[in-house]
Structure formats: C-alpha cells, structure tokens
Structure 1
C-alpha cells in the first residue's frame, strides 16, 4: 500500500488506517493508507509485528517471491521448435498451465515478478518481449506484477529522447497506456501492482545514452533552487502517471519505478514520488540487503527487491544463477522490516541474449541451483507462516 507523505502514511496509526482495517474485515492487520481508493478484495499493504507486509485479497500476509523474465520464444528456434509445437500444441495456454505455473510453484515462487525478457541487447537495439495479456495472466493463475510503458528513459535505452513531463502529449500518452493496460486488469485480484520504468535515468546515464543525458543535471543539486526544480520535475512525472492509472483502476498498488540501486538517487525524487506510489522498488545485482535497508530507513516506506541476481559464468558463455547467493540474500532481506518481497532476475529459459535461466532452451533444468532457490523460498514461506495472525 502506499505512502503519500510520512505524515499521511506514518505507520498506519491514523484513524483512517483503523477505519480501513475494520472496513476490510481483518482487525488483526493495521492497513496502510495507500494510493488505492478501493483496496477491498485486492493486494494492499499493512503493518503487523513491527514490519511491513503485502496483504493478500484474503487478508493474509504475503511476502512476494517472484521470478522475472518468462517468455516462450526461446523454445521456438528452428532447432527446438518441435518442443513448442508438439509439447504444447503451439498454445500459450498449455505452456502456461502445463509448464510455467507448476514449475514456478514447485520452485517455491508465489509470484510472476515481471514476464518480459530481453530479446536483443545491442547499443541501438535493446528490446524486451511483449507483456502478457489478461488472458495469459488468467491462465497462469497466480499473483503477478505488470509493467506500464509510460516512457523510455531506462538506463539501457539509447534510441528515444527524454520525455517532457509537462507536455500535453505526455499526459495523453499516459492516459492511453492506462486505457490499454489498466482497464483489462483493473478487476483482477491476482495483480499485485504496476511497475513503471526499469532503471530510470533520473541523474545518471550509461555509455550508449550519453547523447540524451539524464533527466536532470545533477550539478544543479548544489543549489536549493536546483533541488526545488528536481522536486517539481519528479512530482509532475509521478502525478501524471498516478492520475492516469487511477482514472481506470482504483484497486491495485502502484509499485513505481524499479530504481537502479547502484546509481545516484536523491530524496528529492523519493519525496516527490511519495504521494503517488505505494512502494519503493529497486533493481540491484550487487548489494540489495544493505541498499534496501538504507532506503527503508531513510524513507520509512515499504521496499521491494524487484530485480537482481548473481551469476556464475560458464566456459560456454552461459551464466548460471547463483542459488546460494540468492538464498543468503533472501534470508537477510527478511530482517529488513520494510522489505515486502524479492524478485529474482533469473529467467525461466536461458535464452541466447542474456544467457541466464533456470531451464535451458531444451527445457533441461539446472537442478543444483533450482534446489538452492527452492529451499530458500520454502524457508521464506515458513517464516511468513510462523507469524501468528
């Protein structure tokens, strides 16, 4: 659930929080004041036992354990297309119900963190696969998060110039995105919430997108007027995107940008986002434990490790997911009272671009690492169950 200001959302002790708790019928949970106007029957946020939790539609605590990057194109090469045609009858429904859903559950995941996968990664051609549709999420039949393509100022994006958040065109585009994506999903209780940008370039750039620069010149932050300018810019972005969603979906959480935890990020940005998002989400392949602890401590908001992994490079150029590192990271994240979950950037299939996945392109599993990941997830589930309701 959301936070809108430390004052408005501070630790769920307001009469609004109490009233919300009673109205939802689960008095044992202190529900948070979020950006949701109608959270009943959907995922929301609350506090219990001195920590933040996702609260499921059934009113129970939920710690999201997600796998990111689930796309079937890897088994559609000429060399292995028979797996797709004969194994699944050229059917997304069969693939999702017969392969993906049972495997994710068997591996201890309770969420599809983000389905899109990198399918080409060149300096001027970095692309992800498409979003799942409402029907495909329905066939999967488990909790999931969905990304909204409001803009393209990702740190890996080098083709599109930065948007003008104050323009009429940006508002029109955001309204279209909400109509296209949120309207079909608005009544789905399995949807946890919406992500925005994958690693936004607020204050940093990478080698191939230096030509367009960051959204904001960090040198301006040396003055109070510069800090105020950044707050205005960020507030406009988060307000326009928030308002577009809420015109069509009053039910679901707003998970916001997946910030790059190892890039510059300031409280001017976070404070501007606070009234319009419910969670601070981060990508982190280096030190998610310490970074998420720091951001929760500074913001007092719930935090999500939304993407990240550690890889073990192989002689053939592929990368194994380090299940033991994931297990240690997940165990440590549970000690963060603001952490509401972890999504592994592991990928379902090891494709020929990122070359990382739990199944290879012939659907052979990495048994050793899957076992380590499964055991870590099951320990996390037992930990959630250990709290008395």
Structure 2
C-alpha cells in the first residue's frame, strides 16, 4: 500500500463532474439527466446534452471512518467536530465538510462521477449534491431482509389509503428537495427487497410481503384484495378453506367474510395449490407498489429518472419484471458475479423490460488479515489477491461497456472495513480500494483510474 496525500485545491473542488462523457457534439440540453438509445446503444445524457456513463462509488458512510481502529486518525485529519458531544456523527461541522470535500477529490481522481445508493442519509446532501451526480433515495418500506433482521417492519399494505397518504407525503417532500437539481440522476427506492425467501417456521410460505398481509384484519384493504383473489380462483369458500386448512363449521360451513378475519393461513393442507394462489397474487402487490411510486414521483417531479428498487440480479421474478417494464426508466440491479455469468440474466431482464440497466451495487474483493471474522463483500468470484481483484474490475467494466443496454456500474465500497467496525447493511465487511486510513491500494486504484477513464470510448463500440 502506498500513502497518497491529496491537496485540496479550489480547481479540483470546482471541477464538476468527472470526465466520463463523450466528446461528440452535444444532444438536446434539457437541464436534467435522462437516458436515450442512440444507434442501438443506451446512454445517460447530461443536463447539457452530453453522453455519459454513471461510474459510482457506494458506502460513503461515517461509521467506516469512525471505527475503533481509525476514529482517532480521522478526527485528527478532519477535525474533532466531525462528532458531537455525544460522540455521534455531526454533519453540520467544519470537519464533515472537509471530509466530504476530500472524498470528492478522491472520486474525481479515480474517474468516478457518481455517489450511489449507500451515501449515508445522515450526511447533509448540500455538502455534495451540486458537485457530483447522485441518486435520491426513497425509504418507503422495510422490504430488505437486512432491515427485517434489524427489527424493522412490518411491510406496508400497499392497497390501503393510509399507505397512499404516507407515500404521497414522503415523495412530495423528497421530490421538493431534488427536483431542481441538475446533478440528481433520479429516484431509487428500496435496497434489495426480498420478494421471496425461505420461511423456516412455515416452509410453504415463501412470499414475505403476502405473509404480512395475511396477518391483517378485516379492516385491511390488502386482506380483502387477497380474498377477492381467491374468489376468482375457487368455486366456493369451502373449497378454498380446504386448501388452506381453515376451520369449517359442520353446521354453517365458512364464508368469504369469515376467511378475511382469519390469520391462520400459514400451514396450508395443499401446499402446491396454495403456492399457485400466492404466486398469482404477487403481481398485484408488485404492480401496486411500483405504480403508486411512479404516479406520485411524476406528479411531483416530471423531470428526473425513476430507477425503482435495486433488486438482486436473480430476484427479478416475472411479476417484478412486468411491473418494472411499466413503471421505471432504468432497471437497477445488484450483482457481484463475473459479467459473463451475470449477462445471461441481464439479457433476459432487458428482453422483457426494454429498459437500460445499471449495476447499482457490485464489486470483487478478497478478505485480508483484518477481515477474517466477517469476510468481505465481493468474495463471490473467488479472487485470491488484490492483483486478481484489480483484473476482475477491469474485466467487469470492459465487458459491461461492450453491452449496449448497460449505462453504468456503482462500486460497492471505497474505504476498507475491518472486523471491529460497526456493521451496516450486511454482516460482511465493506469492500474498499483504500485502507481505513485513506491510503490507496495502488495495485488496484491504478487500474480503476485507467479503466474508468475509458468507459465512454468502450461503450461507443458496444454492439
């Protein structure tokens, strides 16, 4: 590792978006970022009408700089008021601005041009939003497995007036903060929502969003939507109740209304038929979720792009793809594999949706001696050393840029996390091309800098 000392100059801080734009004559300047298919190749188009690729970094998050092993060094470098009197991160201090300015210098030095989904919400956006492309984050439902493991929930009843009113208020406020910003790429919702997952207690119940609706009472619109769905699939409530193991009175039978009130849906007698019921209901949930977001964002901000959720690459189920095709401008994925493998999936995603795709969170990594307890994100491709990680970075970017529908990649992490640090969205350590003391891992960063500088030229040749 080589210590790299940056000099904060006004020229760098005023340098604008990093040079990952084409040198061809500009297209129409609309004042906002958009996507456009030009001669069969998809691009982001800058507010000034220049083609560009979004090369981003994720996880600019204070806890990575304020861990037990580097907090003292961070405060010495940037100032004691990076934390308040209680020891919590202080976004309003001079140190926070100095810290953010330094990360912007690093971002441009390595030819990145975007801060992605995991720029921590405790950081005041005004510290960076006019200097770098960024994504506006909507937190409108605890859909990710990691949020549920942290005790967040429940999932919303997307059919209810209460949820609509909540969503309207949240989106109105967030759009008001971003709708005039030229550097805002657009709106991203949830980080890797778990549409399907194994239920250890109830093996037949693999749709967690529906599971949440099934526990609701008779005043819930979502519960009525579910029972009306069953009405369309069964000749009688008794037939449905037999499949789902509901109590049926020998004198009175069972009514649809009685089934609305039931919360004991979790051990169906006919698991195969019950699964078909659930699977055929999921399109209603997905469509409602994406449609409401789409309509409200367009109501309050007609100019910026809609990215939807950042879905795990293998979690683009048919009902998710159908909704994305109607309600997003760019499909956001999270993928850590080699592009030759991931492309088999993204080809299908593009075929179904017809929308450009960017990997909003991905990386390759190898655990070092400080990351043995929790490992590191990006381990999936099996790199054995930093040289292999750097080679995988170059391979990934070059192959993605050769794919006409790909418009960017946001790298999962910038500052290396070690085992004693506070956990974030995953038990795995964050990946990073800087050690916890902001030293570049030059064997890797030299490759990043050189590769990122060529993305537009590489994408020009996509076919």
Specify the TM-score bucket, using the shorter chain as the normaliser: 0.7 to 0.9
Cα distance in 1 for residues equivalent to 2:401 and 2:274: 34
Secondary structure of the corresponding residue to residue 116 of structure 2: strand
Listed as ranges, the gaps of 5+ residues in structure 1 are 1-25, 32-38, 117-128
Correspondent of 1:203 among 196, 202, 219: 196
Separation of aligned partners in 1, 2:129 and 2:35:
23
Counterparts of 1:345-384 in structure 2 under 5 Å? 345-350=412-417, 352=421, 353=423, 354-383=429-458
1:114 maps to which residue?
117
1:236 maps to 288
Distance in 2, Cα, partners of 1:355 & 1:44: 30
Give the superposition deviation at 1:186. 1.2
TM-score (norm 2): 0.65
| Cα distance change of structure 1 residues 253 and 364 upon mapping to structure 2, 3 Å threshold | same
Q: Return closer, same or farther for 1:222/1:73 CA change in 2, 3 Å cut-off.
A: closer
> 1:68-147 counterparts in 2 under 5 A?
68-77=58-67, 80-89=70-79, 90=82, 91=94, 92-97=96-101, 99-116=102-119, 129-138=120-129, 141-147=131-137
Q: Tell me by how many angstroms 1:75 deviates.
A: 2.8
Query: Is 1:54 aligned to 2:44, yes or no?
Result: yes
Give the alignment's TM-score, normalised by structure 1.
0.77
Alignment partner of 1:335 is 2:326: no
Computing the radius of gyration over CA atoms, which structure comes out larger, 1 or 2? 2
Point out where structure 2 has 5 or more consecutive residues left out of the alignment: 1-23, 83-93, 212-270, 377-384, 424-428
> What is the DSSP-based 3-state SS (H/G/I as helix, E as strand, rest coil) of the residue aligned with 1:54?
strand
Deviations 1:92-121 (A, max 9, x none): 221122x111111111211112234xxxxx
Instruction: Mark the CA change 1:220 to 1:131 in structure 2 (over 3 Å): closer, same or farther.
Output: farther
Cα distance in 2 for residues equivalent to 1:357 and 1:132 = 20
CA distances 1:29-87 after superposition (whole Å, capped 9, x unpaired): 5x9xxxxxxx9310011111211111110111111111111123333346544444442
Distance 2:145 2:106 in 1: 31
User: Is the strand fraction higher in 1 or 2?
Assistant: 1
Task: Count the aligned residue pairs.
Answer: 338
**1:1-389, aligned counterparts within 5 Å?**
40-77=30-67, 80-89=70-79, 90=82, 91=94, 92-97=96-101, 99-116=102-119, 129-138=120-129, 141-158=131-148, 159=151, 160-205=153-198, 213-216=207-210, 229-263=281-315, 265-287=316-338, 288-317=342-371, 319=376, 322-350=389-417, 352=421, 353=423, 354-383=429-458
Alignment partners' CA distance in 2, 1:253 and 1:336:
21
Aligned residue for 1:138, secondary structure, equals coil
Query: Closer, same or farther in 2 for the Cα pair 1:383/1:273, shift >3 Å?
Result: closer
Give the Cα separation in 2 of the matches to 1:342 and 1:206: 32
Deviation, structure 1 residue 147: 1.8
CA RMSD of aligned residues (A): 3.2
- Residues 148-192 of structure 1 deviation map (CA, whole Å, 9 limit, x = unaligned): 101111132222222211112221222232233221111100000
Q: 1:309 to 1:79 in 2, by over 3 A?
A: closer
Runs of 4+ in 1 over 4 A off after TM superposition: 26-29, 205-213, 216-223, 225-228, 318-321, 384-387
Q: Which digits, 9 at most, give the CA deviation of each residue in 1:343-374, with x for residues without a partner? A: 11123353524242222222222111112222
SS at match of 1:311: coil
